[in-house]
Amino acid sequence: MQDTAEQTIRLVPRANTAPAAPATERWSAEAIEALFDLPFADLMHRAQTVHREHHAPNEVELATLLSVKTGGCPEDCAYCPQSVHFDTGVQAGKLMAVDAVREAAQRAKAAGATRFCMGAAWRAPKDRDVEAVAELVRAVKAEGLEACATLGMLAEGHAEQLRDAGLDYYNHNLDSDPGFYGDIISTRDYQDRLDTLARVRGAGVKVCCGGIVGLGESRRQRAGLVAQLANLAPDYPESVPINHLVKVAGTPLADQPDLDPFEFVRTIAVARITMPRAKVRLSAGRQQMGEAVQALCFLAGANSIFYGDKLLTTGNPDVAADQALLDKLGLTTRKG
């Protein structure tokens, strides 16, 4: 099923942008769509086989996500309650102080998390913003946690500055297939995202990059998103968060029809098969899934979750519920 021919392709951005940088095609969108089309049991078996070849089969990474600067974002991402374009009740706030972030990191570590992710609602941080976040990174690292940040688009030199502060991962999601991207975002081009990922890679920082499903995209477009991730140069992301749309009143996608839960599980399985060494994170939307669907996602190869009762501005299962589910499934957590 895998396309083993090494050939050069171009990632296809929106029509009004310049061509994207070339990448090596490891998986074609057609081959990935064929994975999606497999009988469910066959797809799950293949994903579990790949998972066991590359990871401890019953181990899950716990990552905590904290919004260190909430709201007021000038982007118009149709799913996002933090956009200034939509009336969602989210109030814009200032960047959190170092002591408050340090205390949050200490609580996360005490609850079992090994990675601490910080999100700030900026289109692109200014130099002074990056300097301030670097201080937050140092505080998190001092607590013995892996540090991740998602701050929007990075300018030249910003990734190096964060790296020097100790940042382990930078998150910058592609969100969707490039052909669908213009239907959900108009304030930034697909190429902008690829450029930031290239700067992160160039600085030697690990990449956390995934997308959102349930936005109204087709299965072919879901395959296209996975193809973009699997074919990133020089390699696919070390961490791949797969988010299920959380519908928020006031956003354009508030009334989007629900995605079939088996389609979400299929997306997890396809991500695992095409990016075998990556941590595949079961991210936003877990609160709406229920335990049975989450269990299928773990069986499909998810081995990381966001842990804690809040994801930026939306809800998440509480710590006790997650611990109970992990115990039921016999899953252990990665230590340090």
Active site residue 208: yes
Active site residue 209: no
Active-site residue identified among 26, 46, 117, 266? 117
CA atoms within 13 A on the CB side of 140: 33
Active-site residue identified among 148, 163, 272, 334? 148
Active-site residue identified among 77, 222, 286, 334? 77
Active-site residue identified among 163, 193, 199, 281? 281
What backbone phi and psi angles, to 5 degrees, belong to 315?
Answer: -75, 165
Q: What span, in angstroms and rounded, lies between the C-alpha atoms of 82 and 121?
A: 7
Query: How is 71-139 classified by DSSP, letter by letter?
Result: S-B----TT-TTBTTS-SSPPP-PPPPHHHHHHHHHHHHHTT-SEEEEEE--SS--HHHHHHHHHHHHH
DSSP state of 277: T
Active site residue 117: yes
Handedness of CA 136, 137, 139, 145 (dihedral sign): positive
Active-site residue identified among 26, 46, 80, 266? 80
Query: How is 137-197 classified by DSSP, letter by letter?
Result: HHHHHHTT-EEEEE-SPPPTTHHHHHHHHT--EEE---BS-HHHHTTT--SS-HHHHHHHH
Q: What span, in angstroms and rounded, lies between the C-alpha atoms of 178 and 175?
A: 9
Active-site residue identified among 208, 209, 286, 297? 208
Active site residue 80: yes
Active-site residue identified among 46, 73, 188, 286? 73
212: β partners: 243
CA distances from 184 to 45, 172, 255, 267 (A): 34, 16, 14, 20
Tell me how many degrees the CA angle 206-212-214 measures, rounded to the nearest 5.
Answer: 165
Active site residues: 73, 77, 80, 117, 148, 208, 281
